[in-house]
Amino acid sequence: MALPASRLSALLAPRSVAIVGASPRENTLGNNVVVNLRRFGYAGRILPVHPSAPEVAGLPAYHTFAELPEPAECAVLAVPADKITAALEEGAAHGLRAAVVFASGFAELGEEGRARQRELQALCARTGIVLCGPNCLGLVNVHKRVSLYSSGIPEGMRDGGLAVVSHSGSACIALSTLGRFGISYLVSVGNAAVLDVSDYLDYLADDSETKAVALFIETLRDPAAFARAMRAMHEAGKPVVALKVGRSAKGAATSAAHTGSLAGNWDAYQAYFRRHGVIAVDDFDELAESVELALKLRAPPQGDGVAVIAVSGGEASLVADLAERADVRLPELAPETVARLRTVLPAFGNIGNPLDTTDRGVYDAQNVYSGSIRALADDPSVSLIAVVQDCSPGLSARGANNYRRIAQTVADAAREIAKPVVFFNTAAGGLHPHVIEPFASSSVAVMQGARASLLAISRLLTHARFAPPDEPEALVPALVWRDRLAAGTPFTERESKAFLAAHGIAVTRETLARDSSAAVQAAAEIGYPVVLKIESPDLPHKTEVEGVRVGLPDAVAVEAAFGEIMGAARRHAPTARLEGVLVQEMVSGGIELIAGLSRQEPFGMGIVAGAGGVLVELMRDTALDLCPFDNAGAHALVARTRASRLLQGFRGRPAGDAEAFAALLARLSQLGAAYGDLLEAVDLNPVAVLPSGRGALVLDALVISRKPTSQGSP
Amino acid sequence: MALPASRLSALLAPRSVAIVGASPRENTLGNNVVVNLRRFGYAGRILPVHPSAPEVAGLPAYHTFAELPEPAECAVLAVPADKITAALEEGAAHGLRAAVVFASGFAELGEEGRARQRELQALCARTGIVLCGPNCLGLVNVHKRVSLYSSGIPEGMRDGGLAVVSHSGSACIALSTLGRFGISYLVSVGNAAVLDVSDYLDYLADDSETKAVALFIETLRDPAAFARAMRAMHEAGKPVVALKVGRSAKGAATSAAHTGSLAGNWDAYQAYFRRHGVIAVDDFDELAESVELALKLRAPPQGDGVAVIAVSGGEASLVADLAERADVRLPELAPETVARLRTVLPAFGNIGNPLDTTDRGVYDAQNVYSGSIRALADDPSVSLIAVVQDCSPGLSARGANNYRRIAQTVADAAREIAKPVVFFNTAAGGLHPHVIEPFASSSVAVMQGARASLLAISRLLTHARFAPPDEPEALVPALVWRDRLAAGTPFTERESKAFLAAHGIAVTRETLARDSSAAVQAAAEIGYPVVLKIESPDLPHKTEVEGVRVGLPDAVAVEAAFGEIMGAARRHAPTARLEGVLVQEMVSGGIELIAGLSRQEPFGMGIVAGAGGVLVELMRDTALDLCPFDNAGAHALVARTRASRLLQGFRGRPAGDAEAFAALLARLSQLGAAYGDLLEAVDLNPVAVLPSGRGALVLDALVISRKPTSQGSP
């Protein structure tokens, strides 16, 4: 449950701050915090606590919480790990409501540290103290001039709309020192013993100073809380841009199923971010440009078409290349737009998108840029206009004057049109201040680095169309299947398919035969040709024990195959329990795809789908989404695989029943949601997607119930 | 043929410069050039040419070339396009050897412009004038203070080792105004009517001021000349970093063959760059960081292992993620290294790579950084040490002082070890000048943006191991096959395979049968089962006319199939010339791959190889190299496809004869070199790669001779 904002305001906007460990010695942590609070202009009461010193940095000091002239709303604990709980106990006894703990030596440092952190958590739960840290730099409320921060406050840090919330202290430093954004809050979350990113997001969703949030995330401990916070952010119209690190860590392969293992943990994070409208980025530069654009793009653009105006052909070509890689669509311009542009740039044969203004754009900036922007703004295929330049800090004075004239014209034109106008320098590494000055009071986002800027445009245009997905109808789990899964014993293919069929997923017609004459009779009922497969709870990998025969055309073949399969199984696995042979209809003419349900912690169950067969792993053509989703979600999932082209009728082959496959995936995802606490994985490999209108059919399936050892964590 | 350096020195280091179109009016092009030359400190003679004015910018002006007091070695033509040839004719008559033409209105502007450019080329060829442009910004020789440049000279441009050569004027501006590199030459190549990038490279290879070259390329007109220039650069030990634009242009699909069409033109450029040791980058930021590293990395590192030292865990995690994406290998450290690091960072459980120094690295910089760098330098798996920080321009004064201490320690340590040390800021967007000052006189490359910096490290480490590939033995073309290809008539499968077999490529055993009894006899000789295929020069797509039967087990089946195939062909294509039916051995148990030879202009013929079947296009799992290459080159080509894992024995399947497939590809590439002028494409689809030691066999082939219409261009 989200904390009420009033509780967090004791931390983020306290009326008084006690500094435990305040020190009269300069250049110590306990002195710096006091000095910083005063210098930063904190208007509340500063209450240094020191066992003996009469004053700290010119302020009267108090020996204990008990001696404070008024209860401190918040305390900064500038003392080592082993002194923290005692100080908090004392504070709590005297009305303390919030605290910042800088000290390391908690969960990040072995078993002793973890025990210490648990103690801290218990104390806070008992006393109701909201706590930032431990193992953090603390926090800054720039607007209210609250600095509970152990690192140096950047001299140039100014009040503004961006909140920075970071698990990493150095990322706080990195983002607050770019010098590009006005900051509302800077929060170093640290070990998140009590408050995590979601709690701060909840608060920021309602905070009037904050317009957008930049997150640096190492792990999400409570995805449900984060999802709730994201919904609040979305409703408040505040974009959240996140850099998640730790993607390359190999560990935590959580699923036993072959298909699930293809989708690494980062795929699950991406699916989660997509679902909850988090703008995910890959490095600080993408983060910075996305934040710049998020802060400036007040009204979400209506479409995804971008028009680019460049000052040279080479630049235009570079931007076209990078736009393609960044998935930015540069639409063909309407004939009327081209005609209007031709009056502005009469000498040119090529009027296109990107638009190359050549040196005429420099020498006749007013006409060329103003005219071009107005013409492009009227083009229905254009939703955003990007002006590109090369205005790095080393530009000559003459060049800077020329480019500044262009910037002024662009800033003026942007005020007069409804569609957003953005500006970016082709290189990162800084912008010439004289050139970009005209943008200062405009709505024009000013970015740098063509690649990162185009990625920001791509992501913000996608985000503008974000809506939280509809929750599909929940599937009510059947008690009998819950009991079966809870038993934990292995499923055979037949039992796995029975589980699927019971929940509305189509599977092959099949009969278990315990002797060869039963097999022949079953085959006759099913219709030739048939497939025979060994049925044993102990043999999940049937091919490896020569347990599969396909395309059996008649009774003779079935009788022989029965004997061979049973014989081979006894030979390969003398102790396996053999229940008989499954006689199965032979399905041909379908497109073979895979679908898998697997554990994707910390997000619960996920669905992986993609191309089937031995090429699955080779080509890595799978996509992942989290459970549950509806048919529309399933179509979106499939569209992210190249196998989707197979379903469309690739190279003259008949199109597959994409609707049926989507419905199957959606249903499987609802199974995942309903039985997720008891399931480890479900592996459908392959699913035959028949020609349009004829359905999709599970040819082989394996249900793996959750291992008892992991049943402790929900 | 490369121009002698003495001819280019008339352009790049002239003893005297005439300015045609010199103007007494300030802020005109013809005035600026004169003023810039004087202000920049040009020591040669400046000779303004003006039809009437007695002086320009304080220098005596002359009416014509004839009146000059001495022959001008070089002329800057600051006059419009229609005045260029007359001025050059006059100059040539008076000893002019080189010229810079700024004017546009040449090949970039329609047929009239192209004619004007041809006239300009003819004039230069006749008179021997070397010419920069037209349609360019001109050039600057920073060391010799020669500015023949129409744009503003960046105030901060200083003398240094980087030459910038660019087809685009704006890229010249973008790269010269980053303010990060000392520049030797800045050349805006323009339309390259006379001198192109290769000519400047030739000159720069021998130029003592130039240590590395940054290229911005729109197109390569003469790959052979560029290759020669690159060899000279390589021999001189000067890295060339290139940003090639225009990759997304759809046009110029040069090959009719299905496989060739998978490899876009940019793939061919990449293959060409790889072959000639060009460090290819994707944007200005990657270009800038690669240049910084190229200028600083004097001795090429010996391996590809990189050790990273970061100031925080979050930063370390981010760098690990981005290193994986950039293909930078962060090796496990040796136990001795870990033990030594533990003495430097005693409190830590995790000593790894990346190494997180935490705040101890800040408060005890000398011990931590100096000790860590020395320990890592002694680790045999480490070839380069990267120190990572967050030192953007907005850093607090306290933070900057802390980080500067680290920087000083790193710079000092770098002087004492043999392995290269580099430094990068996690964000781009500038560096705090106080922090990085200690690196100024050191060998430490100072980069920004974790992603671009890691890509630079990856590329420069790869480049350090570059050696021009051995030229494989040339295949001598057979006259009979040259005649056959020149005839231009379509090849059948049998004829295509005969062409391959004649050049040492293994194909299926097969016989052409003109009636069913001949087919049965051929099948008996080849051995059952067999494949039957229609043989007709008019039916390259045999499946579409029901012209293929596989797995025929006996004479009865062959006889029936013969009739069916001939009947179907007559039905589908009544006018096709049917030569009969090809009776072919049925090859099973092989891994089916494809190999294709196709035209990859402007580089001649190329080879595409990858996975076979309908999945080829779906999965886009192909790689391309240019002809010719040897077996080692073929192995490298295959290694760039995921199909290479099939050859290694993927998921329990037997390994394929990778040697035989490589030999086949190498041979095919030599065919491409030998017959390239007469071939359009050769399509081997599929090739069966049999288990190790058993060879690789072409199952189907189609040779397409070059279309007569395109035989004009060699």
Distance from CA of A27 to the nearest CA of B (A): 10
Residues 6+ apart with CB under 8 A from A367: A344
Q: What is the DSSP letter of B359?
A: H
Residues of B in contact with A650 (CB under 8 A): 614, 617-618
- 3-state secondary structure at position A609: strand
| B188: Cβ contacts below 8 Å, ≥ 6 apart | B132, B133, B136, B137, B138, B139, B149, B166, B168, B169, B172
Structure tokens at B127: 């008179």
Q: Give me the pLDDT at residue A17, please.
A: 98
Among B residues 627-656, those touching chain A with beta carbons less than 8 Å apart: 642-643, 645-646, 650-651, 653
- The pLDDT assigned to B653 comes to 80
Cβ contact (<8 Å) for B179 and A392? Answer: yes
CA–CA dist A44, A10 (Å, integer): 12
As a whole number, mean pLDDT of residues A461-472 equals 92
Distance from CA of A263 to the nearest CA of B (A): 16
Q: What would the 3-class secondary structure string for B383-445 be?
A: CEEEEEECCCCCCCHHHHHHHHHHHHHHHHHHHHCCCCEEEEECCCCCCCHHHHHHHCCCCCE
**A669-690 confidence digits (pLDDT tens):** 999 999 999 999 999 999 999 9
CB-nearest to B427 from A174, A315, A321 is A174
Least CB-CB distance to A154: which of B171, B218, B394? Answer: B394
The helix/strand/coil state of A324 is: helix
The count of residues in chain A is: 714
Report which DSSP code applies to A438: G
Across the interface, whether the CB atoms of B427 and A398 are under 8 A apart is answered no
Residues 308-347 of B with CB under 8 A from A: 310-315, 317-318, 320-325
| Pairing state between β B445-448 and B421-425 | parallel
B617–chain A nearest CA distance, Å? 9
Interface check for A397 against chain B (CB to CB < 8 A): the answer is yes
Distances (CA, A) of B408 to B145, B366, B374, B412, B441: 34, 9, 15, 6, 11
Mean residue pLDDT of chain A comes to 92
A160: helix, strand or coil: strand
A593 is written with which tokens?
């795809």
From the number of C-beta atoms within 10 Å of its C-beta (0-12, 13-18, 19+), residue A15 rates as middle
The vertex-B265 CA angle with B261 and B267, nearest 5°, equals 90
pLDDT beneath 70, residues of chain B: 1-3, 5, 249-264, 348-349, 613-617, 708-714
Our CA-based measurement puts residue A327 at a distance from the nearest CA of chain B, in whole angstroms, of 12
Per-window interface: B 594-633 vs A, CB < 8 A:
611, 614-615, 617-621
A265 vs B: CB within 8 A: no
CB contact A152 to B (< 8 Å): yes
- Residue B573 touches partner A, C-beta closer than 8 Å: no
Q: Alpha helices of B4-80 — where are they, by DSSP H?
A: 5-12, 29-40
CA distance B598 to B703: 10
Residues of B in contact with A176 (CB under 8 A): 394
User: In this complex, which of B154, B451, B617 lies closest to A283 when CB atoms are compared?
Assistant: B451
Q: Strands B679-689 and B591-599: what pairing?
A: antiparallel
Residue that has been written with the tokens 């891994």 in this structure: B591
The strand pair at A306-310 and A510-513 is best described as unpaired
Measured CA to CA, the distance from residue A605 to residue A625 in angstroms comes to: 9
pLDDT tens digits, residue range A698-707?
999 999 999 7
Contact assignment for A155 to B394 by CB distance below 8 Å: yes
Bridge partners (DSSP) listed for residue A595 = A609, A684
* Residue B397 touches partner A, C-beta closer than 8 Å: yes
Task: Look at the block and give the residue holding tokens 């689809």.
Answer: B685
Nearest to B168 among A312, A320, A396 (CB): A312
Task: Report residue A428 as tokens.
Answer: 């990162």
Does residue A433 have a cis peptide bond before it, meaning omega lies within 30 degrees of 0?
no
Contact A429 B180 (CB under 8 A): yes
Q: Model ipTM?
A: 0.93
Which residue from B minimizes the CA distance to A180? B394
Question: Please, which residues 16-55 of chain A have a Cβ atom closer than 8 Å to chain B?
Answer: none
Of B152, B318, B349, the CB nearest to A396: B152
The predicted pLDDT at position A249 comes to 54
Supply the pLDDT for residue B209.
97
Chain A residues in contact with B447 by the CB 8 A cut-off are none
Res A149 pLDDT > 70: yes
Tokens of B249: 């242009």
- Do B689 and B591 touch, CB atoms closer than 8 A? yes
pLDDT digits (tens, 9 = 90+) for A568-599: 999 999 999 999 999 999 998 899 999 999 99
Q: Amino acid identity, residue B233?
A: M
Picking from A109, A285, A391, the nearest residue to B451 by CB comes out as A285
Query: Which residue in the block uniquely carries the two structure tokens 């280019």?
Result: B8
Q: Before A54, cis peptide (omega within 30)?
A: no
Q: H-helix or E-strand containing B141?
A: strand B138-141
d(CA B236, CA B229): 11
Cis omega (within 30 of 0) for bond into B686: yes
Contact assessment for residue B507 and residue B701, using Cβ atoms and an 8 Å cutoff: yes
For the cut 50, the answer to whether the pLDDT of residue A710 exceeds it is no
More confident of the two residues A212 and A247: A212
C-alpha torsion angle, residues A366, A369, A372, A374 (rounded to 10): -70
Which residue in chain A has the smallest CA separation from B447? A429
- Give the pair of three-digit tokens for residue A69: 């002239």
Residues of chain B with C-beta less than 8 angstroms from the C-beta of A428: 284-285, 428-429, 448-449, 452
Q: β-strand A679-689 against A701-705: which pairing, if any? A: antiparallel
Looking at per-residue confidence, does A352 or A494 come out higher? Answer: A494
B394 → chain A, closest CA residue: A177
Average pLDDT over residues A66-86: 96
- What is the rounded distance in angstroms from the CA atom of residue B345 to the CA atom of residue B453? 26
What distance, in Å, lies between the first and last C-alpha atoms of chain A? 17
Burial of B127 (0-12, 13-18, 19+ CB in 10 A): middle
Task: Name the residue with tokens 């499968």.
Answer: B493
Assess A450–B contact: CB distance below 8 Å, yes or no.
yes
Across the range A530-557, mean pLDDT stands at: 94
Contact at 8 Å (CB) between B504 and B497? no
| CA Rg value for chain A | 32
Q: Which two tokens stand for residue B332?
A: 């496990």
Token pair listed for A420: 């957003």
> CB distance from A245 to chain B under 8 Å?
yes
Model confidence at A254, pLDDT cuts 50, 70, 90, reads very low
State how far residue A452 is from chain B, nearest Cα, in angstroms. Answer: 10
Confidence of residue A348 (pLDDT cuts 50, 70, 90): low
Cα separation, B480 vs B686, in Å, equals 26
For residue A699, give how far its alpha carbon lies from the nearest alpha carbon of chain B (Å).
21
pLDDT of residue A284: 97
Sheet strands (E) in A426-569: 445-448, 510-513, 530-535, 548-552
CB contact under 8 A, B288 and A429: yes
pLDDT tens digits, A355-365 = 988 888 888 88
pLDDT in tens, A195-224: 999 999 999 999 999 999 999 998 888 999
